Structure 1
């Protein structure tokens, strides 16, 4: 039953009604969107039945069977390709084997595979059977893996014991009940799969609102939360974003640097390009594939036309100097995952000479919420946003830091709920604001002249004598200081104030005298922009800071 609030979304419903026609529906949907009872949860394209695997593979075979679906850059730097026909054959083979193992609709399949085509095959095989895939980073810690197994109780766990350049692999639990563990690097698995190579498995047609996958995010609390994504709404949203936000043509070669264990790898490394019949690049983590000149040579060699990564990866690349390979094929560089600093944007524009677009989204949203050039972003797809004071719910004045909220709906493709926890979903992520359900991003933002500047997580707060200061506010205040390449703000204990700011700074090649002058500039800038309580107790100069392969800072290591 649609409520009055849903009725007020008439323009959005017309748009999504049209966008949904780009998909194959085995059974047509009857309503674009409906509320679940009186809460914030929604169902998209009700009564419609479809299948993600069919839309990503089967429907392309008539016209694109021989087109390259996946280009794989392995951990040694070698390149391999799979056509849509070959990918379809491999997905059917694994689907047949999984059926033999007893995997059925609704079963959870845990996947911890490196960035090889097999990871995509496993995801698509799950989608074909109506199983729910739960992909985790293949180098996940043993403790985090055990938490996720306990949370989602998978029937099958696919992993790969060959290191393939990975520094560490988790210990595989042997005590999980009713969970089949399969090592895809084993001879037994290869032999079993070979027996199914000529099989064809029909797609299971799912209701649009049936879960397609669970993606765990721990946030700052360290407690894994299972983000549940639907089937139909997710597919419609991804295709629409490629058309209207990314503006992709039919000849695109799309490279997303994120691992499939993260939402960016799900949405734009696997599903979106394949749904659109394009070519996607999967790149394994290794020294020969690290950000920088290796990437630029890969762009030139593979003819990559669009690239999606994070600002931290580009900062790593900057340290290697200007690209020493032609980037003429690269039409646009998209950045997401963390706030963009002006110096990185300037380097992309002036040194790389490539168009740069900035996106803001979350694991929970599944695809971009805001987009724009540089640090100034605007809501996309008719969303309405506001920055509020999280303590009283009042709108934050122009230029004042508050929490970003999304009014009414995140749109199709966003989280359905949390796995087996509707209550926490409703209470953690949603609030009533002026009689309307609003999504709480829990991110700091500033509204300036009708645009939004994202600062970072509200959770990363330093309590200085009772005054709360977001680490993102400190880092943004220091952005652009001459001689400074990167800065991370963290907390450090203080006997009187409880906590104070500690800074970790990467600089250009500076002398000790120049570093001393930079310290003075840092203190002056923080007092001017954040107040005297923001004066750092410690300023540490470092040659480099600990990061993930893709360039995100490992803040917890700095705390240690």
Structure 2
């Protein structure tokens, strides 16, 4: 791995001083055996729970740390001191269960303060938390249990607005399964209220948590995140990218089972000493009503969500609540279409910023307004031909790569699989390492436009066409809210394009005209082989809880 520049090192050296260290680090970054993996702030010892709670108590103990809106619409608040007390109580209880540094603790809890308490209790003890979306399927949960072998599994038996609950593995000699909404747990926790547990100071590069990818494009992988680099990166991003002030109320709509919920729902706001909002979704998915009402009632100042959710909110009409407190709306998770950006800035009258990042990166890689993005902070990027590895010319689509390092806070490796980490994610060219995002991008007017995943490719009579290229070609057509391209079998060509299009209540005649417009656009931008065999009009499309399209379900 190439050494970062003197200016880059100086930047991160300065940002690291905003964190409390029990022992100073000896350097900013060091490579591991000449490979793509590295250690950030080696030699330094710190603790996420201490930096998120303890260091704020003297000046901000009475400040609200968490506002939670539950699935019934009720609101509760926890101050930093109250949150610290609950974290200490659960830490003490976990010690009595035998949980020690390095043990994995799986957290399968809904979006309640207890989920944050459990994460911070693990961080306090040096245990590695593995948070899983609480509505995950039974098979997916079992797969993750086998993969990381947790010593403790915390779950919730109450439905709390969730339609289905996963089957919890039976407790064994190596796994304790605890229902955190049972009377037994409530009574046990109450006995530890008032106990204080000293933080376990961890080497900066030691893992703080594992986070499994959603698996919509392949088998879930256990992303390993470190401790010190992650905390430094999140604080730096809030300061330089989100421009947070001391009075912020930050609302991240993602569940804690996803990276956005980890980074900006829990850790970043608490590390900065501001207020974070946790939203426990109900069975009725109406962001256009509930979210804007929350902004008005709770005084939310900054909000982070995905473009798909805003498209759904747009279908539900203009906000019927005051958004005066909302300083910025941040979108991530998928390419941002012009219509959604325009609706936020003009229809809502709110500043809209676009971010691109991945579970693997931990925080944004690119940022900007609209679809044109630029690298964040010290990162250097390129767009390369996925076959040859050569740099693409402006306007030529290719794979986005990050040069040398993801920066602090990026994945350390894959759980118990350094080899797959190095081979799947990293490329070696001209003596440098390049992180392969596996996302399709194009450079336009000194900006980078993300088009979608590279691995979703349709083979049409030997011609390979990325679904991202099809969807990007159709962006901006009036009447289309969302569009997903998938493959459909063909007896001669092998495969052809099939489209699923969400529209704004068009008549049959208007749909016919739109079909013709779609065909003409695809021929002009992608070629005649891109002509879709089928075009399906839908009112909505199946998605994961995090908002990603379930392409495999549509293909089937």
TM (norm. structure 2) is 0.98
Given that residues 301 and 325 in structure 2 are in contact (C-alpha distance below 8 angstroms), is that contact kept between their aligned partners in structure 1? Answer: yes
> Which of residues 327, 331, 345 is equivalent to 1:331?
327
Q: Match for 1:135 among 109, 117, 131?
A: 131
Q: Of 415, 440, 443, which aligns to 2:439?
A: 443
Give the whole-Å Cα distance in 2 for the aligned partners of 1:332 and 1:320: 21
CA distance in 2, matches of 1:51, 1:184: 25
Could you give the per-residue CA deviations for residues 495-554 of structure 1, whole angstroms, max 9, x where no partner exists? Answer: 111111111111122221111111100000000011111100000111222234454322
Question: Aligned partners of 1:64, 1:227: CA distance in 2, in Å?
Answer: 33
Counterpart among 119, 124, 128 of residue 123 in structure 1:
119
Q: What is the alpha-carbon root mean square deviation over aligned residues?
A: 1.2
1:184, CA displacement in angstroms?
0.5
Which of the residues 126, 138, 144 maps onto 2:140? 144
Is 1:312 aligned to 2:308, yes or no? yes
Aligned partner of 1:39 in structure 2 is 35
User: Could you tell me how far 1:224 is from its partner in structure 2?
Assistant: 2.0
Secondary structure at 2:65 match in 1: strand
Measured after TM superposition, the shift of residue 288 of structure 1 is 5.5
Query: Is 1:238 paired with 2:234?
Result: yes
**Structure 1 counterpart SS, 2:408:** coil
- 2:494 is the alignment partner of 1:501: no
2-structure distance, mates of 1:98, 1:331: 40
Q: Secondary structure of 1:157's match?
A: strand
In the alignment, the residues of structure 2 paired with residue 285 and residue 24 of structure 1 have an alpha-carbon distance, to the nearest angstrom, of 35
Write out aligned runs for 1:77-476 (5 A): 77-174=73-170, 178-287=174-283, 290-476=286-472
CA contact (8 A) 1:213 1:230 kept: yes
5+ unaligned residues in a row in structure 2: which ranges?
A: none
More displaced stretch, 447-456 vs 546-555: 546-555
Measured in 2, the distance between the counterparts of 1:278 and 1:288 equals 29
Q: Distance in 1 between matches of 2:32 and 2:546?
A: 38
Output the CA distance in 2 between the equivalents of 1:112 and 1:540: 36
Per-residue deviation at 1:10?
Answer: 1.3
Contact 1:220 1:459 in 2 (8 A): no
1:19 and 2:15 matched: yes
TM-superposed CA distance for 1:218, in Å, is: 4.7
Distance across 2 between alignment mates of 1:221 and 1:486: 19
Contact 1:66/1:83 (8 A) holds in 2: yes
**Aligned length in residues:** 556
Distance across 1 between alignment mates of 2:285 and 2:499 = 30
CA deviation map 1:117-173 (0-9, x unaligned): 000000000000000000000011111111111110000000000000001111112
CA distance in 2, matches of 1:236, 1:316: 34
- Name the TM-score, length of structure 1 as normaliser: 0.98
Equivalences for residues 49-68 of structure 1 within 5 A:
49-68=45-64
The 8 Å contact of residues 457 and 464 in structure 2, kept in 1 or not, is answered as yes
Task: Give unmatched runs, 5+ long, in structure 1.
Answer: none
The secondary structure found in structure 2 opposite 1:196 is: coil
Q: How far 1:290 moved relative to its partner?
A: 3.4
Residues 356-365 or 502-511, more deviating: 502-511
**Bigger mean CA deviation after superposition, 282-291 or 524-533:** 282-291
Moved beyond 6 Å, runs of 4+: none
User: Aligned in 2, Cα 1:40/1:427: closer, same or farther, shift over 3 Å?
Assistant: same
Deviation of 1:220 (Å): 4.5
What is the aligned partner in structure 2 of residue 536 from structure 1?
Answer: 532
Match of 2:26 among 25, 30, 33: 30
In 1: Cα distance, 2:515 partner to 2:449 partner: 26
CA distance in 2, matches of 1:162, 1:179: 21
Larger mean CA deviation between 358-367 and 288-297 belongs to 288-297
Does the Cα contact within 8 Å between 2:426 and 2:436 map onto a contact in 1?
A: yes
Provide the C-alpha distance between the structure 2 equivalents of 1:390 and 1:559, rounded to a whole number of angstroms: 25
Question: Tell me, what secondary structure is at the counterpart of 1:75?
Answer: coil
Report the Cα offset of residue 452 of structure 1. 0.5
Question: Following the alignment from structure 2 to structure 1, what is the Cα–Cα distance between the partners of residues 401 and 544?
Answer: 29
Aligned pair partner of 1:481 in 465, 477, 482: 477
Distance change >3 Å, CA 344–CA 189, structure 1 → 2: same
Cα 1:468–1:529 change in 2 (3 A) is: same
CA distance in 2: counterparts of 1:177 and 1:225, whole angstroms: 26
